[in-house]
Structure 1
Amino acid sequence: MSSKLVALFLLILLYLALRCHCSTPQSRVKAGYYYTDDGNLISDLNSKLFTHLICGFTFVNPSTHHLFINFSTEQQFSTFADNVKTKNPSVTTLLSIWVGRELLLNFFSMINQSSYRNSFVQSSIETARLYGFQGLDLSGVEPTGNSSDMANIGTLLDEWRVAVNSEAKNSSKPELLLVMSGNRLPALGSVIYPIDSMRRNLDWVHVLAYNYYLPAGRDRVTFFHAALYGPSNMANTDDGINEWKRRGFLPSKLVLGLPYHGYAWTLLSPQKNPMGAASTGPAVTKDGAVSYKWFKWFIRNNAQEAVCGYNATSVVNYCTFGLTWINYDDVEAIRAKVSYVKQKGLLGYNVFQVGHDDNWVLSRAAAEELDDENQNQKGRLLVIVLVSSSTTIVLLLGSVWVMCYLRKRKVKSPGIVPKARKGQEAKVNGIATSGNSNTNVPDLEVYSYAVMEMATNKFSFENKLGEGGYGPVYKGVLASKQEIAVKKLSKASTQGFEEFKNEVTLTAKLQHVNLVRVLGFCIERDEQMLIYEYMPNKSLDFYLFDSVRRFLLDWKKRVHIIEGITQGLLYLQEYSRLTIIHRDLKASNILLDNEMKPKISDFGMAKIFSKDEYEANTDRIVGTYGYVSPEYVKKGLYSTKSDVYSFGVLILQIISGKKNACFYGLNEDLNLLEYAYDLWKSGKGMEFMDPSLDDTVSSCKLIRCLQIGLLCVQENATDRPSILEVSSMLKSESAALIIPKIPAFSIKRNGDEGTKSQFQLEDCSINDTTLSQMVAR
């Protein structure tokens, strides 16, 4: 009897497993437009990579209000469904109706009449069935015109859905899908899409997440045409999706548009960073539009001359070739955007257009990114069903999961080390016991991966704060409501476990108000994550180099930031038990707390000196171009003067708001340091200052900071002041300063070094914002 019960139990488990394997959660949409005029053969389409394919375009006859297809493309429409189903029988085909741009006014006029709407609706259903399509797509409608036009769109959708339902019932065929393209924003001015009707009647809306900025437009400045993220004053996809959600549209009915094209701009002059640069208009084609396929061909034939990159913040690829700048989506951007689809809970993506792909690399990347989730969902569903069939198993696994989930372990030096996987315990011990710079080591939390995943909403794009050389940084909130920042090692990072351990041990033991505090780390699942106190105001570069946010940094705030960085460096070089050289001091590594107080971060590259050591040598040059001292670049030598050099660059950036990767001057042939020196030497130092300061009463202090910055960036390390001397110079407004020599990395090396500046300090008033006396805290 017992054996029969066991057999029955096993049969039930097998049945449930098969049911689970055969049933899948709601499938995501992997759609794409095929344009009949682009010259690609339908038989060449890899339909296996898509769940839905949309064939465009048909048009509306303005007299009869019926659909019509151009004679030249009629054959393609008639064979489309059969052809794509040869390779993928399960693919769903839709017929697209174009009513946009110059046709939109006529369309608005047509749908104003009930009889015209009826003619259009019936014709669309008949045409779709005639050519074997399984759905209809309305393309080109924007929230323009007036509110009555949008109300008529809503009425049309209501009537269209009723007609589709009725036709399916009478013909015993599956209902036709009804979808529609949508503008990035659901409202333009006071005109808004009929959201309620769209939500009620449409299977989905695919948001056209591209063509935001065009080289043939009115603006003669380069911008990304399909940025996923960006500041609020720049068009970006994330703002658009959030607005659709805010207006009440369901994310599960939104499909994200993916562009398989980019735009080429002609630059006015060569630029190292062409984003936001002056442009004379389109390049390559009349409107600048280039397909991904063409672009990849172009790169293959001009690989040596082209300079390409990926902007992880905006999620866009770009390439510069002479005076031509192209922005587009490559595999990295496509994968990131599909990941965004999953994070936001959107229904899927829709490609425009499939024929622009190059050997299907983009379509494969997108499908693989989305399929990863579907496979995970199937696996989770199988586990849930099997586990639910046995109360014992549920209790057992549930208890283990709860223990793992709630476990938050502590380790103290020399080490209370929790149980870990093989190899992990040694790593934890190594972190806990390394370094002896301070015997009074604070507690470090060793967080589980599950806790970090929960805190960061599964490392979602919404929680992403930015990305550096180490990897992405996410905002998190612990169960205790404490806000944290989680720095996660990227698989592509050149930094490894030694840098990770270095940062943990240093930042844990160096306690100062102007150094970012590390709270703990996570090394589960072969991950390397550092957990910090959260800095709500991001980093210094977020403000300095932004045309709008820089106004938030008035002269008083910039003084306090310079003061705070100085205090942090004083502690590292003078007042801690050992001398710490940061080696990667830059604007993005200066974080700002809720009071805009600066904190030095990112100690992965830092080195420890004893007090009787002054200089060291390395074969591995690390740091950031533009901030690294010349002796370090040329000879691998680093010392405390290396950080002084970086601090000098920072001072010049803080007072000017200028980047060090650009060129300046009348001929745009001077780097930042040369430009600062030339203006200071000629008595025009105020021309170097950030115009947003607009504070003439601080001119003396600004010029003094300019001169101190120039002293810090001199070629020879011995000529540079120590950080203690820099501190003294900043807090003493009347003491004479040494005349700086020509800065490092200058092309000019002539006999005018040491020439006094034409700017006379004695002519300045010193009744302005002062730097307070600095002491180590």
Structure 2
Amino acid sequence: MDMIYVPVFILLFLICFCKSDDRLTPTKPLYPGDTLISDGGIFALGFFSLKNSSANSYVGIWYNQIPERTYVWVANRDSPITSSSSGKFVVTNNSDLVLLDSKGSTLWTTSNNITSEAAGTAATLLDTGNLVIRLSNGTDIWQSFHYPTDTLLPNMSAPLSSKNKLYRPFVAWRGPDDLSTGDYSLGSDSSLVPQVFIWNGTRPYWRRAAWTGALVNNVYQSNTGSFMFETVERRGAEFYITYTVSNGSPNMRAKLHYTGTVKVLTWNSKSSSWDVFMEYPSHSCDSYASCGPFGYCDGTEAIPTCKCLDGFESAGRNYSLGCRRKKELKCDGTDSFITLPGMKTPDKFLYIRNRSFDQCAEECRSKCSCNAYAYANLSSLGSLDMVGDSSRCLVWMGELVDTGKPAGGVSENLYLRISSSSANEKKILILKIVLPAVACLLVLTCIYLGCKSQGKRRRKGQNTHMLKHLNAYKLGNEDTELPSVGFEEILTATNNFSACNMLGKGGFGKVYKGILEDGMEVAVKRLSMGSGQGIEEFRNEVVLIAKLQHRNLVRLLGYCIHEDEKLLIYEYLPNRSLDAFLFDATKKIMLDWLSRFMVIKGIARGLLYLHQDSRLTIIHRDLKASNILLDAQMSPKISDFGMARIFGGNEQQANTNRVVGTYGYMSPEYGMEGYFSVKSDTYSFGVLLLEIVSGLRISSPHLTMGFPNLIAYAWSLWVDGNARELVDRSVLESCPLDEVLRCVHIGLLCVQDHPNARPPMSSIVFMLENETALLPAPEKPTYFTIRSHEAEDWRKYMGRSENNMSITTLEGR
């Protein structure tokens, strides 16, 4: 009978022991080798040393169930335990946490100022990652969330004013293997209207616009469908910002990186790595005051760039000097204010309390030194009002610094003062444009009505001729067998080409999503009459794609010709084009390195099929990121064969006086002399490969200062042994660096000047699939560098959708 009590006693002992795993008490300190585990097993606390710096040890908190050791809080970051000593982490009888070395010296301590002994006090590690000192009555007298290091966790509240007694900034590590206090910090300023800053020492490095008063400041959605909410709450006279995540979300954290960027990361269990969900600053002109006084960063552009506010012009060759007024203010009551919608409000404002909109406007209008104002009626927004004030009137008495136009997030109207002459010039300019346009429209209408009947007869003949060609055309020795779809069916499928159905647009027209009568989802390419793609290009695209069958080529399902309308019906690919992900700061995190490498190899296989494995040798001639479509599994499919050419027999290259394609992706011999071959596509592939690795466009000169384009930038980094700096920061920390640098090497081989120096696609596929294959050394791509005086021309042409140049006849897209 006595034996029955033995296992019961052991079970009770184990239960008691497990319950104490998340708690430290005065009688149960923590020693090196011990680990405190939160109740749900999510976080752990203990002693640790960094992998590359084992001489010192620290006490900190990390994720317990993640294989990649990730620290979220460190107690003694600036007072490490040396290798010659050991430590002890203990709760004292005065309810403080103390870290002692082997000599009994205090390395770190809390200061709760409790003089009498409090029985039952314990330090508890919660599943939120918060370490709290809790009295026996349940009161928390100290918590690590109030003393952060470099990481913000969900449900952690941070004060929005540096005057708050609980305010402590987040401070980055000094380096990747040095967790001591670094130069960069994240926190708020002392203004009554909260702003969030990243500081480099005492200098601002990045700024979030002044709070608008919204309860939910932002909602972010990750690629896994999880949501993160940024909310603001008021506790008495103080404001706090809190980040929460939706139920079922993976582990998520925000980290101030030692480089000065804030990275919001989510744990990817498939790749066992942290994916970058968001990053600030998100691009170069997003840094503090990077566009100078009266300049602003336009984040709505495909490539965010600096611009001048309306009524201002650049004060120098670049924006380091900012902008200056085109016309000086007269301050005689004739100056006017214009509305700039969707703006990030500037820094260095003056907050005026208890004003209506009209009163706020008058505050600025009555003072000549006031350059702008912004207003928010907090009560009408259902927002939190400022203490004793239901409005928020901001005025700017000096230069407008750190202004922006964000693509999303917090923005509002900014009311800018300009001279009356500038306003009148704008009105006159509009009249000069509108009146001639109306007159031309009337003339063109008359011409159109006069020629309409004649044009119908001519088009009917052209369409009949085209249909005969399409029906009779053979690729190899087989008929195209491509069905013609009725125009009425396409109208129904696309809801009369509704704007809601539009997937995108390019140089040759728009693409719409449609649903056919049988329920099949399709993409309808509607060629615009002014696009430049005529009968020959349309016929070319139809007959080429009809018989090409490869998993990395888009599939053409049918076509339609109706009066002026020429339409192509493709398979529908839900993720659209590669450029929509690659060059979007918020979407590029969905392209982790595994996905990018899969895209690279898929494009290479598709080109190999076109060049070598299909019935005929086919040159695409317009390979670029926007012509790579992605299916539901992010597998790539090459599209847009309107400019493709067929080589037959022993034909190796051809010459044309009509150079088509996209400047930047064109090979030197094609763009300058009109010669093209399979090696022209190889060059375009090399450019695309460098874009995928770097996340930069070929035409990103402001991101590669001092270089005319991405190729020159990549080569410079390569020869200096710094190719790692080319890698997109969103994948840098989670990618196999050897594999990525191998891709950079292959990309540079593809963009060599001489066609014969570029490897064929069969060799490229082999290099990508076999990591042990030896790679030759690339030659310097002098095509761009010897034309450095043309850099400005490059910048001018790169961003356009249609170019007309005098090389021969360039019809870029």
TM tier relative to shorter chain: 0.3 to 0.5
Structure whose residues are more often strand by fraction = 2
Higher relative contact order (CA 8 A, sep 6+): 1
Structure whose residues are more often helix by fraction = 1
